[in-house]
Amino acid sequence: MKIKEILISENYGDSVVVKGWVRTKRTSKNVAFIALNDGSTIHNVQVVVDLNDISEETIQDVTTGASVAIEGVMIESPGSGQHVEINARKIEVLGKADPEKYPLQPKKHSLEFLREKAHLRFRTNTFGAITRVRHAMIFAIHQFFNDKGFYNIHTPIITGSDAEGAGEMFRVTTLDLDNLPRKEDGTINYEEDFFGKETNLTVSGQLEAELAALAMGEVYTFGPTFRAENSNTSRHLAEFWMIEPEMAFYDIHDDMDLAEEMLKYLIRYALKHCLDDLNFLSKRLQEEEKNKKQEDRAPMELIEKLNFVLENKFERITYTQAIEILMNSKPNKKKKFQFPVDKWGIDMQSEHERYLVEKHFQKPVIVTDYPKEIKAFYMKVNEDGKTVRAMDVLFPQIGEIIGGSQREEKYDVLLKRMHEMSVPEKELWWYLETRKFGTVPHAGFGLGFERLMLFVTGMGNIRDVIPFPRTPQNAEF
Ligand code: ATP
Ligand code: MN
């Protein structure tokens, strides 16, 4: 029986078998208490062992980290903290964990230490909670789109176009790097490579999702994406998961409505289905906050923060308005920003995004209509000819959580934009054809799954919300 089920059961007297990993063992004269966890819940079940019933050899091997199968009887717990516990009749130690060597002894470990023990960190309360919340969010994303009639599309992970990710892509090849085939002019002959051309890992499934949307109506991808950007920040991974809905007949306003509805749905889902884990993460965070200076502390605890986002409509402003606010802001005038805001046209940095959200509006903000120079070629050009129908959703502590836009559906305008931005038209002939045959207004966005996880769990570093992070100089496990 799963511990999660045992803990809500009132079938006192029933026999059960429970299997899991020992968190702690306390021994007194004639009894031992084992706190057992099996990953099904943040809570442990308490197993009471009468030392007259179980051999000394066995109980000696029941140490933190060991795996056990325990047969026993559920009884009403006389202690506080739980209403049911298990009286052990038989204990089988499945796998010992040498206390001299097992790294996760029951004490506080730093997140940095646990990153180096990523193979074992699932066994901590924190990563157990994060893993369950991550699963719930994956499930809720599919639920959300399925309920709305969207189709899930698997877009390719190996791609032959580097249109989007100029310079930020991981090469895929089977060529012998020590002995590369060369053409007469000395350049590498990719015709001899596996696919007969240069291929990379995808940075986004959007372009292919658009193809599907222009027949299926509303679709979404949810897959891994790869970026070789050398940005060693707490919000960037080299391998991350992205949710990319793409909708025919949507304009930018419909796009923003969907983004806001989706984020709120996911947060509500987490509060409803993961409250035990969120409460644990909230307490953990509050402990951490105590070590910070007053002015650096988060204004709200986790659950309060999540509810706050649910209760408030996201502020919607244009890029032009955002720049005006930033130019006149105190930190800008006092030269507190690392990147000063001095003119229309600059690319907003995370510090600017966070100022808008955390200080100025104090709620999530959607910024629209960015200068076309700083956005991708496929975004629809506005009537002013200067801005594009982009929309970025900015969240507290994170900055950009979603990037999206209405797509350029006019063939001529799109082609012109590709030329302007040196996007190879030949490689994207298939993308262009959708604008030749039955084109329609359409829109979509990309939600970084780990950025969502950062927000929902309140964790500070993106390396801690994915089981096995991939970052520059790090691909262990
Ligand atoms: P940023 O400016 O934060 O690097 P971006 O503008 O490069 O983001 P997009 O290309 O618009 O991001 O990607 C869509 C979404 O994917 C972003 O809003 C963000 O949530 C997420 N994202 C982008 N890059 C990363 C990354 N390296 N690691 C994790 N998530 C990312
Ligand atoms: Mn980026």
Give the CATH number, domain containing residue 59: 2.40.50.140
Pocket flag, ligand 1, residue 372 (CB < 6 Å): no
What is the CA(386)–ligand 1 centre distance, in A?
23
What is the CA(6)–ligand 2 centre distance, in A?
45
The model's pLDDT over 9-46, given as tens digits with 9 standing for 90+, comes to 999 999 999 999 999 999 998 999 999 999 999 999 99
- Averaged confidence pLDDT in the chain: 95
For residues 56 and 12, give the distance between their C-alpha atoms in angstroms, rounded to a whole number: 27
Same domain, yes or no: 392 and 299: yes
Is residue 116 situated within a structural domain? no
Is residue 354 situated within a structural domain? yes
**Rg of the chain over all Cα atoms, to the nearest angstrom:** 27
If DSSP codes are grouped into helix, strand and coil, which group holds residue 100? coil
What is the CA(54)–ligand 2 centre distance, in A?
58
221 close to 205: Cβ distance less than 8 angstroms: yes
For residues 38 and 42, give the distance between their C-alpha atoms in angstroms, rounded to a whole number: 9
For residues 123 and 131, give the distance between their C-alpha atoms in angstroms, rounded to a whole number: 10
If DSSP codes are grouped into helix, strand and coil, which group holds residue 149? coil
**Of 164, 266, 400, 454, best ligand 1 pocket probe by most atoms within 8 Å of the beta carbon:** 400
Same domain, yes or no: 347 and 414: yes
**Of 239, 242, 470, best ligand 1 pocket probe by most atoms within 8 Å of the beta carbon:** 242
Contacts for 132-136: CB closer than 8 Å, 24+ residues apart? 132/42, 132/274, 132/277, 133/270, 133/274, 133/277, 133/278, 133/281, 133/453, 133/456, 133/457, 134/453, 134/465, 134/466, 136/269, 136/270, 136/273, 136/274
Same domain, yes or no: 101 and 127: no
Q: Count of domains in the chain?
A: 2
Pocket flag, ligand 1, residue 446 (CB < 6 Å): yes
What is the CA(446)–ligand 1 centre distance, in A?
8
Q: Which atom of ligand 1 is nearest to the CA of 445?
A: 14
Is residue 219 situated within a structural domain? yes
Same domain, yes or no: 326 and 441: yes
For residues 128 and 401, give the distance between their C-alpha atoms in angstroms, rounded to a whole number: 24
Ligand found nearest the CA of 204: 1
Same domain, yes or no: 24 and 128: no
Is residue 450 situated within a structural domain? yes
Q: Which two tokens stand for residue 43?
A: 């809570």
Pocket flag, ligand 1, residue 451 (CB < 6 Å): yes
Same domain, yes or no: 317 and 454: yes
pTM of the full predicted structure? 0.96
Is residue 186 situated within a structural domain? no
Element (H, E) at 255: helix 252-273
Is residue 348 situated within a structural domain? yes
Q: Which atom of ligand 1 is nearest to the CA of 238?
A: 27
Pocket flag, ligand 1, residue 418 (CB < 6 Å): no
Same domain, yes or no: 216 and 98: no
**Residues of the chain falling short of pLDDT 50:** none
Same domain, yes or no: 311 and 263: yes
For residue 348, the 8-state DSSP code is P
Q: Sheet containing 399-406: give its strands across.
A: 151-152, 218-226, 239-248, 442-448, 399-406, 387-395, 365-371, 315-318
For residue 182, the 8-state DSSP code is B
Determine the pLDDT at residue 293.
Answer: 87
For residues 1 and 311, give the distance between their C-alpha atoms in angstroms, rounded to a whole number: 39
For residues 378 and 420, give the distance between their C-alpha atoms in angstroms, rounded to a whole number: 12
Q: Sheet containing 199-201: give its strands across.
A: 158-159, 199-201, 171-172
Pocket flag, ligand 1, residue 448 (CB < 6 Å): yes
What is the CA(148)–ligand 1 centre distance, in A?
25
CATH number reported for the structural domain that contains residue 363 in this entry: 3.30.930.10
Cα(first)–Cα(last) distance of the chain, in Å?
A: 31
Same domain, yes or no: 133 and 33: no
Tokens 């007194």 belong to residue: 28
**Whose Cα sits closest to atom 21 in ligand 1?**
448
**Of 201, 206, 236, best ligand 1 pocket probe by most atoms within 8 Å of the beta carbon:** 236
Pocket flag, ligand 1, residue 132 (CB < 6 Å): no
Is residue 174 situated within a structural domain? no
Pocket flag, ligand 1, residue 236 (CB < 6 Å): yes
Same domain, yes or no: 34 and 134: no
**Whose Cα sits closest to atom 30 in ligand 1?**
448
128 close to 37: Cβ distance less than 8 angstroms: yes
What is the CA(235)–ligand 2 centre distance, in A?
9
**Whose Cα sits closest to atom 3 in ligand 1?**
400
29 close to 21: Cβ distance less than 8 angstroms: no
Determine the pLDDT at residue 163.
Answer: 64
Q: Where are the beta strands (DSSP E) in 209-347?
A: 218-226, 239-248, 315-318
Pocket flag, ligand 1, residue 404 (CB < 6 Å): no
- Domain containing 76 equals 3-106
Tokens 């329609």 belong to residue: 440
Same domain, yes or no: 297 and 430: yes
Pocket flag, ligand 1, residue 452 (CB < 6 Å): no
Q: Which two tokens stand for residue 165?
A: 């990710």
What is the CA(448)–ligand 1 centre distance, in A?
6
Same domain, yes or no: 141 and 239: yes
